[in-house]
Amino acid sequence: GLSGSGKSTLAYETEKRLTEIGKTCYVLDGDNLRFGLNKDLGFSPEDRKENIRRTAEVARLFNEAGLIVIASLISPFIDDRMMAKEIIGDSCFKEIHISTSIEVCEQRDPKGLYKKARKGEIPDFTGISSPYEPPLEPDMLIDLGAASLDDAVNSILDYMVREGIIDI
């Protein structure tokens, strides 16, 4: 999903609920990764691809250690998401598209990024000056402009039970 769509909020609330039922999990948040592991990357298509590749490699390692990994990132290109799926593996990679509209994201604009992007102060800003390719067939679609956070988390947990990822 786009910046401000609610990805991180949903990821951390899902992690909290999974932890409460005894599941070991970890959130790989795009913003946090860019402070450390990916701090040398910008927002060009090549850097975005490398950001996704590194994150997928870390997710795969954490999965192999037995953790449920929730990756919360802006991943604007279909090819990059398919690369991540190849790295992580079909059985572990589940794509949840946070489809909150750009209008809602701009109204929220928690970091003031849309205003800066509209003024041309941020180049390659997803949804404004850089494209976003929505998933063609995501495993789940959640609009956090319409659904409550609690309902969205419940939908994810229900999906995980149905798919045999967790048992409750």
* Separation of alpha carbons 165 and 60, rounded Å: 15
- Give the pTM: 0.93
Tell me what the mean pLDDT of segment 32-40 comes to. 93
Token look-up 């003031």 returns 112
- State yes or no: pLDDT of 124 exceeds 90: no
Instruction: Report the percentage of the chain scoring pLDDT > 90.
Output: 93
pLDDT digits (tens, 9 = 90+) for 73-110: 999 999 999 999 999 999 999 999 999 999 999 999 87
Query: Which residues are catalytically annotated?
Result: 75
Pairing of β 140-142 and β 96-98: parallel
- State yes or no: pLDDT of 43 exceeds 90: no
- State yes or no: pLDDT of 149 exceeds 90: yes
* Separation of alpha carbons 32 and 62, rounded Å: 16
Tell me what the mean pLDDT of segment 125-140 comes to. 94
Instruction: Report the percentage of the chain scoring pLDDT > 70.
Output: 100
First-to-final CA distance of the chain:
28
Contact 43, 125 (CB under 8 A): yes
Residue 61: the pLDDT is: 98
Q: pLDDT category, 111, cuts 50, 70, 90?
A: confident
Long-range contacts of 80-87 (CB under 8 A, 24+ apart): 80/48, 80/49, 80/52, 80/53, 81/52, 81/135, 83/49, 83/52, 83/53, 83/56, 84/52, 84/53, 84/55, 84/56, 84/59, 87/53, 87/56, 87/57, 87/59, 87/60
